[in-house]
A and B are shown apart, each in its own frame.
Chain A
Amino acid sequence: MSQNYDRRKFLAELLKFPPATIVLGVIGPVRLLAAAGTDEYEPTEHYYAMGIRVEECIGCGKCVKACKLENDVPDEPYYFRTWVERYIVYTDGEVQVDSPEGGIHGFPPVADESFPPVAAGKEILRTFFVPKLCNHCDNPPCVQVCPVGATFKSQDGVVLVDEDYCIGCRYCIQACPYGARFLDPRTKTANKCTFCYHRITKGLLPACVEVCPTQARVFGEIGDRSTPLNRMMRMSHLEVLKPHMNTEPKVYYTALDGEVR
């Protein structure tokens, strides 16, 4: 040990530690906080929509199952946030639509003779599946009619229900042209698809999109971001359901058949 380094000097040096600790102790969290600030979810910076490629849907019903599990939707086949419809158009022009239990277990086959209409001599012209969900309308009739404002359009374009505020009058269910809403029998409040709001605000995909084996469902944002949805919207002819209702849906369909309502 050097002779110059006496006790006095050592103590003086030692005194520098507390202030240094304090300074570092403040800078660290401040920087962390600043960094966290940039990660924080900012609804005004997003505007969500969904694309559905009808030609890709195979009617497996995985999306219906995933939705029920993810969002704790009652199991009974009267409550759906999303469901799949099957359209069978016969050569005589007749259209048959079904959605057994919302399509959650898929669909019975039509190709063979065991399918009653085919057995009765009907010939099939074309068939296809159409996944349905809340259209998160830009001009939502459900939001308009809610007497207390319990259902609302969020800044990021998602139509949501505040279940602590809903009085259960069911006017919104009557006003929805798409049958997308139901009354949750447990809470006695209106319930519907939220685009899995708890997931998308963390940067995850909605459950139905996540599990879709054919990428028939495309989730993303409307705007200048390079998302699969934007690519789909650029490259395809888009349709929405019941455009004459002027609800301005934000679920866009490709290859949507005129028979679909």
Chain B
Amino acid sequence: MDPEHLAQLEAALGQVTGFIYPNEVELHWSILIVIYPYLTGLVAGAFILASLEKVFKVKALQPTYRLALLTALAFLIVAPMPLQAHLGHPERAFEIFLTPNSASAMAMFGFVYAWYLMVVLLMEIWFDYRADLVRWRQNDKGVMKLVRWLISLGSRDVSPAAVAFDKKAVQFITIVGIPSAFLLHGYVGFIFGSVKANPWWSSVLMPIVFLFSAIVSGISMVLLIYYVTTLLRRKELDMSCLDALASFLFYALIIDLSLEALDFIHRLYESEESIEILEQLIFGKLFLSLTIVQILLGTIVPIVFLAAARFSELPNEMKRMIYFVAAVLVQVGIFSTRWNVVIGGQLFSKSLRGLTAYKLEFGGQEGLLVAIGLLILPFLILALLLKILPPWEDAKTDSSELSEAMTEAEPSEASSLS
């Protein structure tokens, strides 16, 4: 047996207050399981933001449409990794696909994930980028030409009819994608919300709370990425886009806070058997991460900041700064939210008579280093995606110009399009 693990259990046992069942000394879902809903939330939120532009025709969000899609993809690719790493037998993970237990919420993971990745995200990105990929290929050399040819699946047709079909396809997939994004993260909420043994998790509101916190996190993440990438490219930030992002973030935060408040008041008012231990939890072990970080710094402060900046006559530079700070705070708050759900739900005994402790390891399979790695990885993937599929307005091709160019280019493929 791993002596480090045993030492950790001994330390945890020393921190137990009240009574816990002896098997509860070990806390089973670690930081990796905190990261998983954090990542899927970002995926769902970023996709819903992208769909605002496509389905609800919010034109101001045009500059972030493709960026949001790529962000969703980058985070989606990493999302199952913490789950996989957390399994006692990662090599048996495929059994979830081969012999799923139809009664298990978790068994549906593979199908929800595969549907979202294959049918929604990849298809939408492919149709949206197809014509551009064809054009970019003209100027590409070497590996990039091959990569883009592979990604476009060898497609060549950029006739107005084909481009029109792309548009329609994107529209259709987005419409399918919105309920799918709701499903993706609502489902993660259900995994926790349906555990009747755990009063901190067991709540019908859980999938909805997860969903709105996902929208909040997705919008603020895309805002941050848009902000940073634009500055790095030394381009001008589109202020009307930032204003629109800030507005949506503001509204989503209001709904999110209302739902959290509803959940809190409901619990307090019903005052069930578990209320005493949950009170100890909220005002004890979770006071910093829940009351201070999640609610105050992660929700209320950003709401005030966003309202102050969005609906006032501040200079643009000032506004931008405030939006940026608010978005950073929201990210910290959302990470705390995930922490408070996952870790918080395991800090009290199901005997409702005592509390235990979680000590984050530094190294090891479920340690801090792995967690940080998994949080950095999506950004590396995103950087790569941004190289292959630049989402910037200035990289786009106008479809009419494109077909002209193609007819010109037809005789000799190598001729330049610029």
**A residues within 8 Å of B by Cβ?**
74, 76-80, 83, 85, 95-99, 101-102, 132, 141, 143-149, 165-171, 173-183, 185-189, 245, 261
24 contacts between A and B (CB under 8 A): A76-B1, A76-B6, A77-B25, A78-B22, A79-B23, A97-B19, A99-B22, A101-B22, A145-B103, A145-B105, A167-B92, A169-B87, A173-B23, A174-B28, A174-B29, A174-B346, A175-B196, A176-B197, A178-B21, A180-B23, A183-B88, A185-B5, A187-B88, A189-B89
CB distance from B14 to the nearest CB of A (A): 12
Given A78-B25, A167-B88, output 7 extra A-B contacts at Cβ < 8 Å. Answer: A78-B22, A144-B103, A167-B87, A167-B92, A167-B93, A169-B88, A245-B196
Q: How many residues in B have their beta carbons less than 8 Å from beta carbons of A? A: 47
Report the Cα distance A173→B93, complex, angstroms.
18
Contact of A170 among B2, B5, B29, B196 (CB under 8 A): B29
Interface string of B1-31 (1 = CB under 8 A from A): 1100110010001000011111111101100
Most chain B CB within 10 A, of A99, A174, A185, A245, is at: A174
A99 contacts B19, C-beta separation under 8 Å:
yes
B96 contacts A167, C-beta separation under 8 Å:
yes
CB distance from A146 to the nearest CB of B (A): 6
B28 contacts A78, C-beta separation under 8 Å:
no
> Is the C-beta of B390 less than 8 angstroms from some C-beta in chain A?
no
Most chain A CB within 10 A, of B28, B95, B191, is at: B28
A144 contacts B23, C-beta separation under 8 Å:
no
> Is the C-beta of B99 less than 8 angstroms from some C-beta in chain A?
yes
> Is the C-beta of B107 less than 8 angstroms from some C-beta in chain A?
yes
User: Which chain B positions have C-beta within 8 A of A187?
Assistant: 88
User: Which chain A positions have C-beta within 8 A of B24?
Assistant: 179
Q: Which residue of A lies closest to B28 (CB)?
A: A170
> Is the C-beta of B159 less than 8 angstroms from some C-beta in chain A?
no
Report the Cα distance A165→B87, complex, angstroms.
12
Contact of B87 among A144, A168, A173 (CB under 8 A): A168
Interface string of B258-297 (1 = CB under 8 A from A): 0000000000000000000000000000000000000000
Interface string of B188-208 (1 = CB under 8 A from A): 000100011110000000000
Binds A, one of B229-237, B348-356, B378-386: B348-356
B197 contacts A174, C-beta separation under 8 Å:
yes
B89 contacts A188, C-beta separation under 8 Å:
yes
Q: Which residue of A lies closest to B19 (CB)?
A: A97
B353 contacts A261, C-beta separation under 8 Å:
yes
Q: Which residue of B lies closest to A84 (CB)?
A: B22
A to B contact number (C-beta, < 8 Å): 140
**B residues within 8 Å of A by Cβ?**
1-2, 5-6, 9, 13, 18-26, 28-29, 83, 86-90, 92-93, 95-96, 99-101, 103-107, 109, 191, 195-198, 346, 349-353
User: Which chain B positions have C-beta within 8 A of A185?
Assistant: 1-2, 5
User: Which chain B positions have C-beta within 8 A of A179?
Assistant: 20-24, 349-351
Given A168-B88, A188-B88, are A175 and B1 also a contact pair (CB < 8 Å)?
A: no
A169 contacts B106, C-beta separation under 8 Å:
yes
User: Which chain A positions have C-beta within 8 A of B198?
Assistant: 174
User: Which chain A positions have C-beta within 8 A of B195?
Assistant: 141, 145, 174-175
User: Which chain A positions have C-beta within 8 A of B19?
Assistant: 85, 96-99
Most chain A CB within 10 A, of B86, B92, B96, B109, is at: B92
Most chain A CB within 10 A, of B1, B23, B29, B92, is at: B23
CB distance from A63 to the nearest CB of B (A): 14
CB distance from A171 to the nearest CB of B (A): 5
User: Which chain B positions have C-beta within 8 A of A186?
Assistant: 1
Report the Cα distance A102→B21, complex, angstroms.
8
B100 contacts A182, C-beta separation under 8 Å:
no
Report the Cα distance A50→B19, complex, angstroms.
25
Q: Which residue of A lies closest to B110 (CB)?
A: A147
Contact of A149 among B26, B101, B350 (CB under 8 A): B101
Closest 3 interchain pairs by CB? A168-B88, A179-B21, A188-B88
Most chain A CB within 10 A, of B96, B103, B106, is at: B106
Report the Cα distance A176→B197, complex, angstroms.
6
Q: Which residue of B lies closest to A81 (CB)?
A: B23
User: Which chain B positions have C-beta within 8 A of A175?
Assistant: 195-197
Q: Which residue of B lies closest to A245 (CB)?
A: B196
User: Which chain A positions have C-beta within 8 A of B105?
Assistant: 145
B88 contacts A146, C-beta separation under 8 Å:
no
Report the Cα distance A76→B7, complex, angstroms.
11
Given A169-B106, A177-B196, A245-B197, are A80 and B23 also a contact pair (CB < 8 Å)?
A: yes
Q: Which residue of B lies closest to A99 (CB)?
A: B22
Most chain B CB within 10 A, of A77, A101, A186, A245, is at: A77
Report the Cα distance A31→B68, complex, angstroms.
76
User: Which chain B positions have C-beta within 8 A of A188?
Assistant: 88-89
Q: Which residue of A lies closest to B6 (CB)?
A: A76
Report the Cα distance A172→B97, complex, angstroms.
18
A182 contacts B106, C-beta separation under 8 Å:
no
